[in-house]
Each structure stands twice: as structure tokens, then as C-alpha cells.
Amino acid sequence: MSVAALIQLISACVGIIGALFFAIGIMRQSIEAMGRLSGSYWDWNPHMPPFLAAQKADYVFGGGLILVAFVLQLVAFFAPNQGSVFRPDTVQVVPWIAALATVLAFFALRVVASRVAARFQVQIDAWLRDRASRT
């Protein structure tokens, strides 16, 4: 194994650990925690629930994608290194297809993340209303 391959392997492993910590950290941000952050000692901040909901949705998707990327990088070390997946005359097109797929996937995931954020915001608002009704 070359030094470069060893560094890539270590990078993939460290990336997986980092992505897991990132994902665990944001997954532990509960609706109650976001509701408490939306409030202050004097009043409720109406701008915080949408921000916190969008932030959590983006972090969930981002952390998950980072984790998948590093896992795929690690899996690549176990894949056989013989032969080509694509015909020689199509190899030049593959990066363009990958770039287009990346852009389309980004916009599709942004739509899904915004819907997830809206769901989080509804849950935060419900928690805040429940908390306000108790006082």
C-alpha cells in the first residue's frame, strides 16, 4: 500500500468518525431544546423556530451525506481494482453525467430538507404553544 493510499484510508476513517459526531450532535437537538432556544428570559423570539428547524434539517441531510461519502471512500478500498466499469468511448462523458446528477440531487434534497424543516417548525411551535398554555 502506498503512502497516499494509507493517508486516504486514514482520512476515510477519521471522516466517518467526524461525520458520526456531527450527526449525533444534531440528532440530539430535540424539539424541546429548539423550543427553549427560541425563547428568552423576557419573551419569545419568533425568528428562531424557523431558523432552528431549517438548521437542523440541513445538518441532518449534510451530516448524513458526509457520512455516506466517507463510507463509500472506505468501501472503495475493498472493491476489486481490475477492469473498467465503463466502455473506453464513454469515459469522457461520465464526469459530466456525475456533475449534472450532483446538481439535480442538490436541488431535490433542498426541497426535501425544506419540507423536513417545515415539519420541525410545526413541532417546535406546538411545543411552544403547549408550554405557554401551562403558564
Give the closest residue to 26 by CA, choosing from 113, 133, 132.
113
The mean pLDDT values, 10 residues at a time, for the chain of 135 residues are: 77 85 82 80 75 89 88 84 77 86 92 94 89 80
Q: What is the pLDDT of residues 86-123, one digit of tens each?
A: 788 887 888 888 889 999 999 999 999 999 999 999 99
The overall average pLDDT reported for the chain is 84
The rounded distance, in Å, linking the Cα atoms of 128 and 121 is 10
**Would you state the pLDDT for residue 116?**
95
Percent pLDDT > 70 in the chain is 95
3-state secondary structure of 28: coil
Q: What is the largest CA-CA distance in the chain?
A: 70
**Would you state the pLDDT for residue 31?**
87
**Would you state the pLDDT for residue 83?**
72
